[in-house]
Chains A and B, each alone.
Chain A
Amino acid sequence: MNRLSLSLCAAAAISSLSAQDARQIAEEAQRRTRASSQRYEGTLTVTNKAGKTAEKRWQYERFGSHGSSKTVLRFTAPAEVKGVALLVVNHADRASDQWMWTPALQRERRIALQDRSTRFFGTDFSFEDLEERDVDQYDYKMLGEEAIDGAPCWRIEWRPKQTKRSQYTHAVVWIRKDNYALAKVESFTKDQLARRLHFRDIRNVQGIWTAHLLDMEDLRRASRTILKFETLQYNLPLKDENFTLQALRRE
């Protein structure tokens, strides 16, 4: 009986140790992407089931670091949406506030994102997929190791804590062992694979390993979105006042 309980304890200890590891890995991955600001020009290509493609371009600026960052995203193409801007203010303790500015109406609107499973403007990303993930809101479980694109990775299960509302029941995340960069995320709803996100073209920019191509597949819709980053820079001298509603209206 003692042996049995001992072995159970040991198993618990091992699993808790590995969970600790998984969490540490996630923390480290997040720590390594930390930067005071970021800017890039993105190109978004959506290819639907029928093979039809649509393209959008935007300019992206982020100010502040994880948990309390602010971002402004300005569309530059196609012509119909040029000038439309999004302001996202992230909060550590609650869902982000989001506003959209439409130049034709000359007014901003609050995006009432109560349903974060909504797709992000016709792409295969949901709003939730684009949020910054807070390490504390998940439970972790080390599932093993596996190579992605030839690079050895940890395979970790992320399961949102009870308090967090998510469209997914869990996700499996691959993190590269060499540089802690995310390589792949598979998101599940009720054990069914819903989305697969592939991080490609991972390069070191100012000391941060950054994917320059995000390849998202929506398995239910059988469509795919590729997001490419260009002229990506970190730690630029951006000003807080450029990340307000007033600033959104100015341009």
Chain B
Amino acid sequence: MILLRLISWQYARKHVLRSLLTVAGIALGVAVFVGMHTANQSVLYAFHSTVDRIAGKTQLQVWSGEAGFDEEVLERVQAATEVKVAVPVIEAVVSTGRAGQGNLLILGVDMTGDRSLRDYDLESADAEIIEDPLVFLAQPDSLIVTRDFALRNGLALNSRLSLSTMEGEKQFTVRGIMRSGGLTRAFGGNLAIMDIYAVQKIFGRGRHFDRIDLTLGDDVPLERGQAALRRVLGPGFQVEPPSGRVAQFDSILRVYSISLNISSAFALFIGMFIIYNSFAIAVTQRRTEIGILRALGATRGQIRRLFLGESAAAGLLGAALGVGFGILLARGAVGQVGGMLEGIYGLTQRANEIALNPRLISLAFLIGIVTSMLSAWIPAHSAARVDPVQAVQKGKYQVLSAGENRLRRRIAAVLAILAAASLAMGRSMIVFYGGYLLTIVAALLLTPTLALWLARTIRPALRGFFPVEGALAADSLIQAPRRTSATVAALMLSLAMVIGLGGVTRASYRPLIDWMTSSLNPDMFVTPSENLSDRTYRFPLAMRGELERIPGIDHVQSVRTARMIYRGGPVLVIGIEVDRVSRRVHSRVIAGDPERMFAVTAAGAGVIISENLAELNRLSLGETLELATPEGLLRLPIAGITRDFSDQQGSLMIDRSVFQRWWRDDAVNIFRVYLRRDAVAGEVKERILERFRHERRLFVLLNQEVRQYILRLTNQWFGMTYVQIAVAVLVAVLGIVNTLTVSITDRRRELGVIQAVGGLRKQIRYTIWMEAVAIGAIGSLLGLALGAISLYYTLEMTRRDFSGMRFDYEYPLPIAAAIVPIILAAAFLSALWPAESAIRSSLVEALEYE
């Protein structure tokens, strides 16, 4: 401790910039970790708390995917002797249409029974509404809102609020205002209570409920109630405590969470490099000091502890900063995350506050300190090995020994062979990921050798262009591979990651566009909401006939989609008129006979599943798929496997008739509209809008708009790649600034000599600039190479564990072409300040240095 204060603090004070960089390394990693997780958790938390608050006294909830189920199920549930109170619920999210107010969660309940489960604490003046639900029920425009929402929107009792319904814009009347309390904080306070039967009508839900909330008899244990209801209802229903729904939400977000964790791990890894770099350099620079300490009687353990102590302190400080930045980051990202989840999964949440999880924060601190100490481990160890006699002699450098290099190369070769072998060793997840890890470690071990070799290779070129500056810059790299190799390695890893992720992005584009061209080929889509994945509103089937009678329309297909649970994971069920669709759509068939596949499915005797569902669940052609529906277990043989991007975790296509029979639901989410050859899309769109103007809420999306929408979502999803590019650039900057600062300190004398013998400022400047750009170039080159391997692994990971999509290997040249100049520019920019500081430092001191 005393050593830490006496020695380290002085050193830190003297090398403010380097100390800051070390701390920044940790801060960066922790910030990304905290930021991304907090943003994510805030959205999840908003969902959890909405579920919780809405649940009230509910012990169990009954639901069937998100398709809903017939009203009749309620009677079956109520008839169970274990059940005390069971009430139906529909949840629907609508836009308030008010600027800045976002969405409103409409909770449709049956007021006559619901109070036994939920506490509607109304403001006293209008308490009768709940006491006397008659007035509320008799008028379907009735709405109870939270006090928060009322205040924000200037609503009072009997105020009117306009909401868009299946029958177009409708005025609603505030008939009650809930006092702030548990329930009212659900969905960020944007909650309104409506009569469930009114909700059925205005959202086109027919005679369906989303869910039944229930409490059990006073002495019925949860498990018994659950078992009894499962028996009564069959496999098509989920009977779970409210937390079960949260778990389902989490499983839908699985892919997203994994990507998030990879990003965080990546950022931390990069942070480790920066720290390793800083400490390795510090140890080299402080050899004399260490030597003196050793000569004065400090033990090796003390020296090691000194450096580890320093790293712990840096880790603590970095974690504190990182947590702060992370929270700022989360604030910025939370809206974005919410929006993306809504677009991709159709899950709308209003996360307007940051959920700070104390466990996450403590974890962040722990991670900060531990990663810092881990990365300082090797430098601390080498510090402990410093020989006191050699160290105090001036002007002697311990150079990375040739033997050490050979050892590294040998280990790298062994690892590379192991990695290659692991590829051949089948599907085991551990072996596969282990192989990836081995490859990375091998690449890291080889970095110093490769960097040295590359620096030697480019020396003549640099010398050719700039005889002095070029040679000096290259020499500086060659002279101290240890100084540069950590930065080069960090750059290499960043770039490899960018290439891997970017490559998947690009690889997925073409199949996505192919799919859109072959399957998403109607001229227009008629939907009840702007968002294709939102299934709040539904159309009645009768609308198809009405649409087909509109001049210019040739052909209409009705689609019903709903997310279900299959083998514990989410799957998108698409009920579609297979016969009609097969005549228009020519999707890419992975397995099965295209003709027969559609015929069988249209006849209700088969199911067509998406490639990714097959991949993720290891399903193959001819196997029987068992799907739990509200009407029981539906068994259908897999008639075909096609490439389908409808859902990240897989989709399956059945005939509408099958859906209607097993879900007793003939509502429609989307109408696919094909036009006559001579029809003009714009005119037909107008006609549709005109025809339904006063009776339906609907949107007509032209093919082009849908494509753009999907591409936009895809881009948003892959936006994480850009975050990583940003991190890569940041690493480049931090690492290079660090390396250069050290390089300049190391070479102060050398630079002084050059100036003394007539080197002009600009010559010094050029030398340093070139050194930086050379580091950038070497890192980029190695990164692009490792990227080729990383891309292979990322594609495989995508196929095996993320989305089950199989993409062709294609090196993302445009990304490489874009990222290299960015890195070089960043390298150049990061050299500006060190270069100026080199020029400005006193010549006299430089020459006397040491």
Q: A112-B86, A121-B133, A122-B131 are in contact. Are A80 and B138 (CB under 8 A)?
A: yes
User: Quick one: which of B113, B133, B134 contacts A113, CB cutoff 8 A?
Assistant: B113
A4 in the interface, Cβ–Cβ < 8 Å? no
In the complex, chain B residues whose CB is within 8 Å of the CB of A31 = none
Min C-beta distance of B75 to chain A, whole Å? 8
Q: How far is the CA of A136 from the CA of B58 in the complex (A)?
A: 35
A208 in the interface, Cβ–Cβ < 8 Å? no
In the complex, chain A residues whose CB is within 8 Å of the CB of B139 = 80, 104
B201 in the interface, Cβ–Cβ < 8 Å? yes
In the complex, chain A residues whose CB is within 8 Å of the CB of B75 = 110
Min C-beta distance of A94 to chain B, whole Å? 10
Min C-beta distance of B644 to chain A, whole Å? 38
A107 in the interface, Cβ–Cβ < 8 Å? yes
The answer to whether A105 and B87 have CB atoms under 8 Å apart is no
Q: How far is the CA of A109 from the CA of B128 in the complex (A)?
A: 21
User: Quick one: which of B113, B133, B134, B140 contacts A114, CB cutoff 8 A?
Assistant: B113
Q: A81-B134, A104-B138, A105-B140 are in contact. Are A115 and B197 (CB under 8 A)?
A: no
User: Quick one: which of A83, A105, A112, A119 contacts B197, CB cutoff 8 A?
Assistant: A105
The answer to whether B138 and A114 have CB atoms under 8 Å apart is no
In the complex, chain B residues whose CB is within 8 Å of the CB of A107 = 197, 201
Chain B 78-102 interface 0/1 with A at a Cβ cutoff of 8 Å (1 = within): 1000011111000000000000000
B384 in the interface, Cβ–Cβ < 8 Å? no
Chain B 114-139 interface 0/1 with A at a Cβ cutoff of 8 Å (1 = within): 01100000000000100111110111
A118 in the interface, Cβ–Cβ < 8 Å? yes
The answer to whether B85 and A115 have CB atoms under 8 Å apart is yes
Q: A105-B197, A112-B86 are in contact. Are A84 and B137 (CB under 8 A)?
A: yes
B74 in the interface, Cβ–Cβ < 8 Å? yes
In the complex, chain B residues whose CB is within 8 Å of the CB of A56 = 134
In the complex, chain B residues whose CB is within 8 Å of the CB of A84 = 134, 137-138
A151 in the interface, Cβ–Cβ < 8 Å? no
B310 in the interface, Cβ–Cβ < 8 Å? no
The answer to whether A112 and B135 have CB atoms under 8 Å apart is no
A17 in the interface, Cβ–Cβ < 8 Å? no
The answer to whether A102 and B137 have CB atoms under 8 Å apart is yes
Chain A 78-93 interface 0/1 with B at a Cβ cutoff of 8 Å (1 = within): 0011011000000000
Residue of A nearest to B135 (CB): A80
Q: How far is the CA of A112 from the CA of B110 in the complex (A)?
A: 8
Min C-beta distance of A85 to chain B, whole Å? 10
Min C-beta distance of B209 to chain A, whole Å? 12
Chain B 249-287 interface 0/1 with A at a Cβ cutoff of 8 Å (1 = within): 000000000000000000000000000000000000000
Residue of B nearest to A127 (CB): B112
In the complex, chain B residues whose CB is within 8 Å of the CB of A122 = 128, 131-134
B751 in the interface, Cβ–Cβ < 8 Å? no
In the complex, chain A residues whose CB is within 8 Å of the CB of B113 = 111-115, 118
Chain A 114-141 interface 0/1 with B at a Cβ cutoff of 8 Å (1 = within): 1100110111000000000000000000
Min C-beta distance of A46 to chain B, whole Å? 8
A25 in the interface, Cβ–Cβ < 8 Å? no
B791 in the interface, Cβ–Cβ < 8 Å? no
A75 in the interface, Cβ–Cβ < 8 Å? yes
The answer to whether B197 and A114 have CB atoms under 8 Å apart is no
Q: Which of B188-241 contact A (CB under 8 A)?
A: 195, 197-198, 201
Q: How far is the CA of A56 from the CA of B138 in the complex (A)?
A: 13
Residue of B nearest to A98 (CB): B112
Q: How far is the CA of A83 from the CA of B138 in the complex (A)?
A: 9
In the complex, chain A residues whose CB is within 8 Å of the CB of B84 = 114
Chain B 165-199 interface 0/1 with A at a Cβ cutoff of 8 Å (1 = within): 00000000000000000000000000000010110
Residue of A nearest to B141 (CB): A104
User: Quick one: which of B74, B128, B131, B137 contacts A112, CB cutoff 8 A?
Assistant: B74
Min C-beta distance of B175 to chain A, whole Å? 10
Chain A 236-251 interface 0/1 with B at a Cβ cutoff of 8 Å (1 = within): 0000000000000000
Q: How far is the CA of A113 from the CA of B115 in the complex (A)?
A: 11
Residue of A nearest to B202 (CB): A105
In the complex, chain A residues whose CB is within 8 Å of the CB of B116 = 114-115, 118
A54 in the interface, Cβ–Cβ < 8 Å? yes
Min C-beta distance of A113 to chain B, whole Å? 7
Which of B131, B133, B138 has the most chain A CB atoms inside 10 A of its CB?
A: B138
Min C-beta distance of A224 to chain B, whole Å? 14
The answer to whether A112 and B87 have CB atoms under 8 Å apart is yes
In the complex, chain B residues whose CB is within 8 Å of the CB of A114 = 78, 83-86, 113, 116
A214 in the interface, Cβ–Cβ < 8 Å? no
The answer to whether B134 and A121 have CB atoms under 8 Å apart is yes
Which of B74, B83, B87, B197 has the most chain A CB atoms inside 10 A of its CB?
A: B197
Min C-beta distance of A51 to chain B, whole Å? 14
Which of A104, A110, A114 has the most chain B CB atoms inside 10 A of its CB?
A: A114
Min C-beta distance of A111 to chain B, whole Å? 5
Residue of B nearest to A50 (CB): B124
The answer to whether B135 and A81 have CB atoms under 8 Å apart is yes
Chain B 428-459 interface 0/1 with A at a Cβ cutoff of 8 Å (1 = within): 00000000000000000000000000000000
Which of A56, A112, A113 has the most chain B CB atoms inside 10 A of its CB?
A: A112
User: Quick one: which of A103, A105, A115, A123 contacts B201, CB cutoff 8 A?
Assistant: A105
Min C-beta distance of A236 to chain B, whole Å? 26
Q: A105-B197, A107-B197, A109-B197 are in contact. Are A118 and B138 (CB under 8 A)?
A: no
The answer to whether B110 and A75 have CB atoms under 8 Å apart is no
A100 in the interface, Cβ–Cβ < 8 Å? yes
Q: How far is the CA of A109 from the CA of B138 in the complex (A)?
A: 11
Residue of B nearest to A84 (CB): B138
The answer to whether A112 and B78 have CB atoms under 8 Å apart is yes
Which of B78, B86, B128, B131 has the most chain A CB atoms inside 10 A of its CB?
A: B131
Q: Which of A50-83 contact B (CB under 8 A)?
A: 54, 56, 75, 80-81, 83
User: Quick one: which of B110, B133, B198 contacts A105, CB cutoff 8 A?
Assistant: B198
In the complex, chain A residues whose CB is within 8 Å of the CB of B132 = 54, 121-123
In the complex, chain A residues whose CB is within 8 Å of the CB of B112 = 100, 111-113, 118
Q: Which of A190-215 contact B (CB under 8 A)?
A: none
In the complex, chain B residues whose CB is within 8 Å of the CB of A100 = 112, 137
In the complex, chain B residues whose CB is within 8 Å of the CB of A48 = 128
Q: How far is the CA of A80 from the CA of B131 in the complex (A)?
A: 16
Q: How far is the CA of A54 from the CA of B135 in the complex (A)?
A: 12
Residue of B nearest to A104 (CB): B140
Min C-beta distance of B117 to chain A, whole Å? 10
Q: How far is the CA of A52 from the CA of B201 in the complex (A)?
A: 35
Q: How far is the CA of A102 from the CA of B195 in the complex (A)?
A: 11
In the complex, chain B residues whose CB is within 8 Å of the CB of A119 = 131
Q: Which of B134-169 contact A (CB under 8 A)?
A: 134-135, 137-140
Q: How far is the CA of A115 from the CA of B83 in the complex (A)?
A: 12
Min C-beta distance of B160 to chain A, whole Å? 16
Residue of B nearest to A106 (CB): B201
In the complex, chain A residues whose CB is within 8 Å of the CB of B78 = 112, 114
Min C-beta distance of B134 to chain A, whole Å? 4
Chain B 673-717 interface 0/1 with A at a Cβ cutoff of 8 Å (1 = within): 000000000000000000000000000000000000000000000
In the complex, chain A residues whose CB is within 8 Å of the CB of B140 = 102, 104-105
In the complex, chain B residues whose CB is within 8 Å of the CB of A110 = 75
Q: How far is the CA of A113 from the CA of B134 in the complex (A)?
A: 15
Q: How far is the CA of A233 from the CA of B78 in the complex (A)?
A: 37
The answer to whether B197 and A102 have CB atoms under 8 Å apart is yes
The answer to whether A54 and B128 have CB atoms under 8 Å apart is yes
Q: How far is the CA of A119 from the CA of B111 in the complex (A)?
A: 12
Q: How far is the CA of A123 from the CA of B132 in the complex (A)?
A: 7
In the complex, chain A residues whose CB is within 8 Å of the CB of B135 = 80-81
Min C-beta distance of B128 to chain A, whole Å? 5
Q: Interface on B for A, CB 8 Å cutoff? A: 74-75, 78, 83-87, 110, 112-113, 115-116, 128, 131-135, 137-140, 195, 197-198, 201
Q: Can you list 5 contacts pairing A with B, beta carbon distance less than 8 Å?
A: A100-B112, A102-B138, A104-B138, A112-B86, A122-B128
Given A118-B116, A119-B131, 7 other A-B contacts at CB below 8 A? A54-B132, A104-B138, A109-B197, A111-B113, A112-B87, A112-B112, A114-B86
4 nearest A-B residue pairs (beta carbon) = A122-B132, A112-B113, A121-B134, A122-B131
